[in-house]
Structures are given as structure tokens and as C-alpha cells.
Chains A and B, each alone.
Chain A
Amino acid sequence: MNIIDFIVSNFNEFLSFTGFANATVGNIIMIVVGIFFIWLAIKKDFEPLLLVPIGLGIVLGNIPFRADAGLEIGLYEDNSVLNIFYQGVRQGWYPPLVFLGIGAMTDFSALISNPKLILIGAAAQFGIFGAYMIALALGFEPNQAAGIAIIGGADGPTAIFLSSKLSPNLMGAIAVCAYSYMALVPVIQPPLMRLLTTKKERLIRMQPARRVSQLERIMFPIIGLLLTTFIVPSGLPLLGMLFFGNLLKESGKTTRLAKTAGSALNDVVVVLLGLTVGCSTQASEFLTMNTVFIFLLGAFAFIIASSTGILFVKFMNIFLPRHKKINPLIGNAGVSAVPMCARISNNMGLEYDRHNFLLMHAMGPNVAGVIGSAVAAGALLGFFS
């Protein structure tokens, strides 16, 4: 009798620990969202390197369990394994490490050979500030609005870095939103590009870029670092690591370090970042009206950013001589989803002229967008912290 009571009571207790006993509708919805992300990544090939870890992270973060059991397994429970991984997001360690990898993988030659493309990267940041104003109008606090608006930069690490500092309670939604829109670049940008350009403009052939010497490529990260961080020291973690990574690449003497920063280290950080960002979207935190607003604002910011990039190229073309005109199809690449946006510019260019290869030209504004969004994040951080 005693043994039966023992078994029954312990079995009941065990049942109370299971996910079935603790599941909420929110958990189920989020698990479905997570699986949808994984499907998008694998089936549709939308940023699989990011969406697979984020998707699985969403599933992992929404597995229901008894929170009061003190199991120390949840993301928001001190000393749990996931919590330790999450510190990299909360304290802002991962984004600069990702930037190190980006720097180590990025070739800035296109930008150096045609420096006016840098300005397109600056113009595309207008999406951030447009979204900031609308977020304020919707009733968000200025620091929250700044965290949300940075989605317009289309730069996941920057969005995580800024939101972890300014609006940590919205960080999960902001990060997922930023990565979602980055994955949806091939869906969002082409219609905008068609809408804002004429056929004649799409056929513009740009002058081939001149060959850039190693000296210039070495000077770029050093000068870039000095010029940008002297103006915006608050962007130091991101800009510093970006240019450091690039110097490792271009110096020609630290190839091993550049290779590690751009491959193994970057992969480790992306895995941890994606997984923990996904985990942070627990239903109780994520399924709110704020998340809906964040997604709407993110879409708006992204559309504005892409559009202003294209329109700015058209504006520049007014002043440029005929043989130096820029194809506005590379304007969308001012947002910093590298190299996705540049690839879209190239594909669109080839669609209208099969000999018009725009990839290298589009890489200029694309990498300028990375710098621009990091500078914008630094500026906002400076204003609000």
C-alpha cells in the first residue's frame, strides 16, 4: 500500500513537471513559430545560418516547465547553462565578436576604389530615424523607440547590441524581427527597386572599379577606426572590432587570426547568439502588442531604409557626369544585410542586362551600410545612455 502511494504521488509530481502539464497556448504558438523559422531556413533557404539556431532557440525557450521547481534550466534563471550563454547577449559580448568576423571576411576594396558609394550607406540609415519618430508617435519611450528603430539598419548584431543597452525588455522581439527581415530581403527589396527606378536607370553600366593597392586596404581600417570612433566613441565596441577584423585580414601577416575570426570563432558566436536570442522569446515576454508594433515598425524601417538608398543614388546621379552615373539598383544595398542585398542588386541588374554585373559595385554601399548602422547605433547610445 505504502509503495503504491509512493509511486502514485511521485508519478503525479513527475507529471506536474512535464511540459504537458505546464504548457500554455502562448508556448504552443511560439513553438509553431520556431518550427516555421526552421522550415523557412531549410526549405526556402532564408538565412539558414541564422534562422536554424534562432528557430530552434524559440522552440527551446518555449518548452514549458515548472518555473517554481528551482531546476535552474530556464534562460532567465540565474546560473543555468542557457543563462550563462545569454550573458553574451545581455552584456553585449556577442555582437562585437560577430563584427570581428564580419571585418575579417569583408573586402572593402569596392568602397575604397569608389568612395562616393560610402554616402549611399549613410543615406540608407534614414530608415532608422524614420522608424524612431513613428515609434515615439506610437507611444514607445525614446530609449525603446531607438532600440526598435535600429532594425532599419538591417544589422542583427547592431540591433542586439543597441537594444541590450537601451531596451533590454524588448531585445528578444527586436532581434527576431531584425533577423526575420534580413532573411526576407529577397522578398521585400525587389518590388521596391522596380517601383523606384526606371528601365533606363536599371540599364546603367558603371565604370569598372580601379585596382586597390594593399597600402590602401591596410589604411582603410586604421583611418576608418580613427575617423568614426573619434566622432562616435559609443560605437567603439562594434566599429573597433569591425576594423580590427579587417586589419587582421588586410595586413597580410595575420592570415591565421583573420581566418579564425572569420570562420571558427564567428561560427561559435553565431550559434550561441542565434540560440540564445531564440530562447529569449518566451511566450510570456514575446506575445504582446509591443511585439506586433515592433514587427510593423521594423518593416517600415526596412522599407524606408531601402528606398532612401535607391532615391539617394538617383539624387547623386543628377550631379554626376554621364560616364560616372551610378546604377540605382545598388541603392538598396545601403542597408547592411551583407552580402544578401548586394546579391539582389546583382541579380536585378542581370535581369535587365545579362552583361551588367553589379555585385562588386553593390558591395560598396553594402559594407558602408555596416559602418553606417554601427555609427547610428553609437550615436543613439550616446544620446540615451
Chain B
Amino acid sequence: MKKFSLILFAALTTLLSAYGQGARNIKINEVMTSNKASITDEYGRHKPWVELSNIAYSSYNIRGMYITTDRKVLDKSLTVPQRISMMSIIPSGDDRTLLTARTHVVFYLDSHRAEGSFYIGEKAMPNEPMWIAIYDGNAVDLIDSVSVPALKDDCSFAREKDGSVKWEIKSPAEVTPGTNNLLKEGESKVAKLKREDPYGFGIAILSMGIVFSCLALLYVFFRVLGIFMSHKQTIKKAKNIQPVKAAVAAGGLIAETGHKTKVILKDGLQSSGIDKEVYIAVISMALKQYLDDVHDNESNIITIKPHSTMWNAHIEEKHF
């Protein structure tokens, strides 16, 4: 049992850590299927593109992952080589595939692999719906996918903000390739605090409230626990006192015998053909056994009565 628990714990830990980190944090963040006047690639061309984002606060290298626009890969009966033939691999050997925390990378579609690490051959039909997905390095595990609706020229289909489950169509002026989908503008948090709370009263009251709440919760919990534990200790102490212990034991035996008697009498009276005297004999035997047991319950207290002898008489005299 212990071994099984250990194996289960190890498996769960591995599974959770594998799920919680890494590839799952890579998301398709924004897609543009018809690029007429939006960003240009390194060759000065307007190509459709897809933006991937690392939504975690740790780095992850996306080399070896796959991008595809072919829905056929969803067929689970396909072999790995068949699946790979329908996908474009993200090549290794380019440092830019290492996505640091909360960063983005743009891949140009309708391109040739030879043009660079971020150029893939997946097709995007302008102004038509499309499906795009990213797969893990084994070409089997689907990491993220999205069905893009028909988009007007230079509009993109993007998550409301990085990593959000809500998608929206962005106008050409709102498109954000290679950066956060929701750009924070305006004053910083510190500047806002300075403006809204110039003397610090608000922060002081709030922070003191938080400190007090935290410690007050601890107080309440350990106060209640303390009362419970004291009560428990008192009961334990009382049980350890010898006469009480004997009384508790005797009480327990009486209750047990009484219960048995009650059950037997009830069953006996209800059942026909069984002599009532049999039960009385059983009860008598039980009582005898109980009385014998009581006799065997000694107090365990050894009392040594003082006995005056002559040899220490001078000491007693001294006391007087």
C-alpha cells in the first residue's frame, strides 16, 4: 500500500509538473490571413502571419514544435510520419526560438523554409476561414488550435489579451504583431497611486488592515484550536486519575452488559420457541463475569503508612 502510494504520488507529481509547465504555455495569440498593408517580412513582402506567445513567466524553446493549417491531422488514426508530412516544423539552431517569459514570435505563412526559421509553407487563403494549430515535438499532442473566421484585409483574429480564451477581430489599426494584444497605456501604477493617494493614508489603512486581517485570522484559528486542545488535555488528564479510570471502566462494562441484555431480551421475547430462561442464564453468566472482572480491577495505588521506629527518634525530636 505504501509502495503504491509512493508510485501514485511520483506519477501525479510528474504529470502535474509536465502539464503545468512548458509547451502548454505556448499559445496561438494572433492570426492575419490577408496581409495587404500590415507588417512586412525581412524581404519586404506582405505575408499572412501567425503570432505565437509564451504566456508563462519562464522561458521555453519552441524548436521542434509543429505548425499546421491542415485539419486532417486531427484524424487520430494517422501515423506520426503521415502527420509530420502535413505540418511545418519549427527548426532548431536559431536562438530566437527560445521564448523568454511573456514574449511573442511571428511566423510568416505561404513562405519557403529556406527563407528563414520563421517562414513556413502553411497556406492561408485570404478572406477565407482557416484553421491553424500547433503541435508538440511528437507531432501527436495538440498544444493549441484556433478556427479563424473570414477576415477582411489587414484585420487580425486575436485573443482579447495574451493567453485569454476570448478572441476578437481586430481592425488594421489595432493589430499587434510581435507584442502584447492588450497594450497598457497611460500612467504607471506608482504614478497613479501618487496621484490618488498623495499622503499615503489609503495605502496605510489598507496595508494595516491586511496585516491585521492575516494575523487576526491566525489568532482566531489558534484560539479555537487552543480551546479544543485544552479541553482534550483536561479530559485526558481526568481519565488518567485512578478512581475515575476504574469508574469509567466499570461504567463501560455496565453499559455494555446492559446493552447486551436489552438486545437479548428484545430478540428473545420477539422470537418464538426459545426458552426465556436460557437468556436469563446468559445474563447471569455475564453478570458473574463482570463481577469477577470488577474484583480484578485494583486501584494500583500503593499506600505506605508511616510507622514510627526508634532509630529516627532523635530527628523527630529535632523538629520539636
Known: A113-B226, A142-B190, A368-B215. 19 other contacts (CB 8 A): A111-B222, A118-B222, A122-B214, A133-B200, A133-B201, A136-B198, A141-B190, A142-B197, A142-B200, A142-B203, A146-B203, A223-B221, A227-B217, A231-B210, A371-B214, A371-B218, A379-B206, A383-B193, A384-B189
Choice from B206, B216, B225 contacting A219 with Cβ under 8 Å: B225
Cβ proximity bits B212-235 to A, threshold 8 Å, 1 near / 0 not: 111111110111011001100100
Query: Given contacts A118-B215, A129-B200, A375-B215, is CB(A216)–CB(B225) below 8 Å?
Result: yes
Cβ of B198 and Cβ of A122 under 8 Å apart? no
Nearest B residue to A211, CB-CB: B233
Q: Please, which residues of chain A bring their CB within 8 A of the CB of B222? A: 111-112, 115, 118, 216, 220, 223
Cβ of B203 and Cβ of A383 under 8 Å apart? yes
Check: A376 CB closer than 8 A to any chain B CB.
yes
Alpha-carbon separation in the docked complex, A223 to B194 (Å): 36
Q: Can you report 18 residue pairs joining A to B where beta carbons are below 8 Å apart?
A: A111-B222, A115-B222, A118-B218, A119-B216, A129-B200, A142-B190, A210-B226, A210-B230, A212-B229, A224-B218, A227-B221, A231-B210, A371-B214, A376-B211, A379-B210, A379-B211, A383-B193, A383-B203
Check: A198 CB closer than 8 A to any chain B CB.
no
Nearest B residue to A143, CB-CB: B190
Cβ of A116 and Cβ of B199 under 8 Å apart? no
Q: Please, which residues of chain B bring their CB within 8 A of the CB of A210? A: 226, 230, 233
Q: Please, which residues of chain B bring their CB within 8 A of the CB of A145? A: 200
Choice from B197, B200, B210, B225 contacting A232 with Cβ under 8 Å: B210
Interface of A (DSSP majority class)? helix
Q: Please, which residues of chain B bring their CB within 8 A of the CB of A368? A: 215
Interface size class of A (residues with CB under 8 A): 35 or more
Check: A121 CB closer than 8 A to any chain B CB.
yes
Cβ of A126 and Cβ of B219 under 8 Å apart? no
Alpha-carbon separation in the docked complex, A129 to B194 (Å): 15
A219 to chain B, nearest CB (A): 7
Please report the total number of B residues contacting A with Cβ < 8 Å: 32
Alpha-carbon separation in the docked complex, A164 to B77 (Å): 55
Cβ of A380 and Cβ of B215 under 8 Å apart? no
Cβ of B199 and Cβ of A122 under 8 Å apart? no
A370 to chain B, nearest CB (A): 11
Q: Please, which residues of chain B bring their CB within 8 A of the CB of A215? A: 229
Query: Given contacts A141-B190, A210-B230, A219-B225, is CB(A122)–CB(B203) below 8 Å?
Result: no
Check: B204 CB closer than 8 A to any chain A CB.
yes
Check: B207 CB closer than 8 A to any chain A CB.
yes
Cβ proximity bits A119-148 to B, threshold 8 Å, 1 near / 0 not: 101100110111011001100011101100
Check: B208 CB closer than 8 A to any chain A CB.
yes
Nearest A residue to B222, CB-CB: A115
Choice from A118, A136, A231 contacting B200 with Cβ under 8 Å: A136
Alpha-carbon separation in the docked complex, A121 to B222 (Å): 15
Cβ of A372 and Cβ of B211 under 8 Å apart? yes
Q: Please, which residues of chain B bring their CB within 8 A of the CB of A220? A: 222
